[in-house]
Amino acid sequence: MAQSDIREQVDLIREVFAYADQFRGGTFVIKISNQIVDHPDFPQHARDLALLHKSGIRIVIVPGARKRIDEVLDRFGADKRFKDDIRISSGEDMDLIKMAAFDVAHRVMTALSGHKITAVIGNWVRARSRGVINGVDFERTGSVDRVRVEALTRSLEQGHVPIFPCIGHNESGDPFNLSSDELAGTVAVALNARKLFILSTEDVMYTPEWEVPENVEVLDDGRIFRMVPDAAEEIVKLNPDKPGRFLLRTAAAACRAGIDRAHILDGRQGGVLLKEIFSNLGVGTMVFADAYERIRPMESSDVPGILDIMRPLIAEGILVERTREELERKQNDYWVYDMDGVVHGCAALHPFGESSAEIAGMAVDARYAQLGIGAKLLDLLNEKAVEDGISRLFVLTTRTADWFLARGFRDGSLSDLPAERREEYNEERNSRVLVKNLDSN
Ligand SMILES: CC(C)(COP(=O)(O)OP(=O)(O)OC[C@H]1O[C@@H](n2cnc3c(N)ncnc32)[C@H](O)[C@@H]1OP(=O)(O)O)[C@@H](O)C(=O)NCCC(=O)NCCS
């Protein structure tokens, strides 16, 4: 295997360990659409769910049952009625609806049992009638009244995987048909889950098929990567013809209610759950509520990862060689970009005297290039320099001049460098000197 392949694999394994450690003991709620449970690849999802469970993540599953309910109602010649995509469930149909909902839940349980997982189907929600909305009586379609968190937590502590059929009962024991999306979101919030996953049969969201506002992060290949709940609501409005917009609405509602991250995945692709969980860029679309990324001072434990990012750039002559000792010695000057606990970039601000500072050691992991990480690091160094009373920034670069010139730097000369730095200037390297006066910002 080529050295670069080995390094890539090692990077991937590191990423997996970093995430596995972070999520152990946390709860993931997974809403699986009915079509995915019926899909030929479902056994693969069941295996991945079992792996997650065995790695110490608490798994809760909410299977949708819409397709199965439709099939059963059709078979018995019962009407199917909807208002705003919500089923109106009549009292007479409830036995059929229960049968369909429990059938899907049983299929999920059976698939997990094949992996020696004790999955349990339970009644952990109290329901109430949805009532009459704008003159429409939803009859036996209900809403989640409350989640019986204690009983559910006990089940999780015993190492079980709870499965929620979309049926809840009110205080008098009458059954109600619940929306599995709402159920999954409410259960995730009640359990203070780390993540909500929605495995659907909708295509992954890409631009330009989907129209998106500016504050949504889109990857180079057009995949709609991540956004905050307000932006998700905007996408819903901008794309009124896309059925997938309902998934965004569910994800946004869950994040507004307190879930950190809700991930929308195309469940027709095998392995999507693991890919989404254990890699930073994932494979789906994410709505997030908290600060997902941060720039923080470098810690000594970051040094090996930073050297990994710098190594190929040093090999290409883009960056000057740096050793572990050197990075540790200058630790206070370095800042790192941290996404979910994994470092993807760094930059240093080395002060020279009281009024000038050098920007150096700026490096972004090539796999995360062009996501604005470099710009964020540079903005932060600018801010720090202003705070420290620095009036002039300079940078020495061989290949990245354009990038700095586009960000407020201008061409300078050796005479712009502090004397101490000028003495160290490497004639052979012949770097360009770029400067930026902070006063004139
Ligand atoms: C330069 C660097 C830090 C940019 O980081 P990044 O997170 O990929 O960049 P951003 O996402 O903030 O910016 C992307 C933009 O910069 C442009 N860009 C990236 N590298 C560039 C370069 N070497 N020269 C000119 N422009 C460049 C991209 O084309 C993109 O342009 P667009 O916004 O018009 O699409 C990164 O490419 C890197 O680590 N380079 C190697 C190390 C280096 O040169 N360090 C600087 C010397 S200290």
Residue nearest to atom 45 of ligand 1 (CA): 362
Q: How confident is the model at residue 357 (pLDDT cuts 50, 70, 90)?
A: very high
199-236 burial, b at 16+ Cβ within 10 Å, e below that, comes to bbbbebbeeeebebeeebbbeeeebbbbbbbebbbbbb
For residue 319 and ligand 1, the question of a CB distance below 6 A is answered with yes
Q: How confident is the model at residue 291 (pLDDT cuts 50, 70, 90)?
A: low
Q: Which of 32, 132, 14, 28 is nearest to 83 (CA)?
A: 132
φ, ψ of residue 93 to 5 degrees: the values are -85, -10
Largest interatomic CA distance in the chain: 89
pLDDT at 162: 98
Q: Are residues 84 and 196 in the same domain?
A: yes
Share of the chain above pLDDT 90, in %: 81
For residue 88 and ligand 1, the question of a CB distance below 6 A is answered with no
Ligand 1 centre to CA of 365 (Å) is 11
pLDDT digits (tens, 9 = 90+) for 72-108: 999 999 999 999 888 999 999 999 999 999 999 999 9
Angle (nearest 5°) at CA 108 between 106 and 114? 100
pLDDT digits (tens, 9 = 90+) for 203-217: 999 999 999 998 798
pLDDT digits (tens, 9 = 90+) for 236-273: 999 999 989 989 999 999 998 889 899 999 999 989 99
Identity of the residue numbered 329 = R
CB 251 within 8 A of CB 198: yes
Ligand 1 centre to CA of 371 (Å) is 9
CB 140 within 8 A of CB 177: yes
pLDDT at 20: 72
Q: Are residues 57 and 174 in the same domain?
A: yes
Q: What is the rounded CA–CA span in Å between residue 313 and residue 132?
A: 64
CA dihedral 189, 191, 194, 196 (to 10 degrees): -60
Ligand 1 centre to CA of 396 (Å) is 15
Structural domain of residue 156, as residue ranges? 23-289
Q: Are residues 270 and 303 in the same domain?
A: no
Is residue 10 one of the residues assigned to a domain? no
Q: Are residues 240 and 301 in the same domain?
A: no
Residue 404 belongs to a domain with what CATH number?
3.40.630.30
| Chain center to CA of 18 | 15
pLDDT at 250: 92
Which of 318, 338, 400, 436 has the most ligand 1 atoms within 8 A of CB, as the residue to mutate? 400
For residue 381 and ligand 1, the question of a CB distance below 6 A is answered with no
Q: Are residues 110 and 143 in the same domain?
A: yes
Is residue 79 one of the residues assigned to a domain? yes
CB 187 within 8 A of CB 60: yes
Using the predicted structure, report yes or no on whether residue 130 has a pLDDT greater than 60.
yes
Residue 273 belongs to a domain with what CATH number?
3.40.1160.10
Using the predicted structure, report yes or no on whether residue 440 has a pLDDT greater than 70.
no
pLDDT at 384: 95
φ, ψ of residue 75 to 5 degrees: the values are -60, -35
Is residue 2 one of the residues assigned to a domain? no
For residue 369 and ligand 1, the question of a CB distance below 6 A is answered with yes
Is residue 154 one of the residues assigned to a domain? yes
Angle (nearest 5°) at CA 97 between 94 and 101? 135
For residue 362 and ligand 1, the question of a CB distance below 6 A is answered with yes
Helices 229-238 and 245-256: crossing angle, nearest 10°? Answer: 160
Q: What is the rounded CA–CA span in Å between residue 364 and residue 372?
A: 10
* CA torsion through residues 278, 279, 280, 284, sign: negative
Q: What is the rounded CA–CA span in Å between residue 418 and residue 194?
A: 50
Q: Which of 241, 270, 289 is the last residue of a domain?
A: 289
For residue 401 and ligand 1, the question of a CB distance below 6 A is answered with no
Between strands 224-227 and 285-288, the pairing is parallel
pLDDT digits (tens, 9 = 90+) for 14-64: 777 767 777 888 999 999 999 999 999 899 999 999 999 998 999 999 999
pLDDT at 14: 73
- Name the token pair of 351: 């002060």
Q: What CA–CA distances, in Å, run from 391 to 297, 438, 439?
A: 22, 5, 6
pLDDT digits (tens, 9 = 90+) for 383-430: 999 999 999 999 999 999 999 999 999 999 999 999 999 999 999 999
Q: Are residues 283 and 148 in the same domain?
A: yes
Q: Which of 309, 304, 308, 297 is nearest to 333 (CA)?
A: 297
CA dihedral 147, 152, 156, 159 (to 10 degrees): -140
Q: Are residues 254 and 304 in the same domain?
A: no
Residue nearest to atom 3 of ligand 1 (CA): 374
Is residue 403 one of the residues assigned to a domain? yes
Total number of domains in the chain: 2
Q: Which of 204, 161, 133, 145 is nearest to 45 (CA)?
A: 161
Q: Are residues 253 and 345 in the same domain?
A: no
Give burial (CB, 10 Å; 0-12/13-18/19+) of 255: buried
Is residue 85 one of the residues assigned to a domain? yes
pLDDT at 336: 97
Q: Are residues 247 and 217 in the same domain?
A: yes
Q: Are residues 105 and 39 in the same domain?
A: yes
Q: Which of 289, 310, 327 is the last residue of a domain?
A: 289
Q: Are residues 226 and 276 in the same domain?
A: yes
Q: What CA–CA distances, in Å, run from 310 to 37, 53, 120, 297, 345?
A: 44, 36, 49, 17, 9
Q: Are residues 376 and 267 in the same domain?
A: no
Ligand 1 centre to CA of 370 (Å) is 7
Q: How confident is the model at residue 278 (pLDDT cuts 50, 70, 90)?
A: confident
pLDDT at 165: 97
Is residue 14 one of the residues assigned to a domain? no
pLDDT at 60: 98
Is residue 29 one of the residues assigned to a domain? yes
The atom number, within ligand 1, closest to the CA of 361 reads 48
The radius of gyration of the chain's CA atoms, rounded to the nearest angstrom, is 27
Q: Which of 251, 274, 289 is the last residue of a domain?
A: 289
How many C-beta atoms surround the C-beta of residue 325 within 10 A?
9
Q: How confident is the model at residue 441 (pLDDT cuts 50, 70, 90)?
A: very low
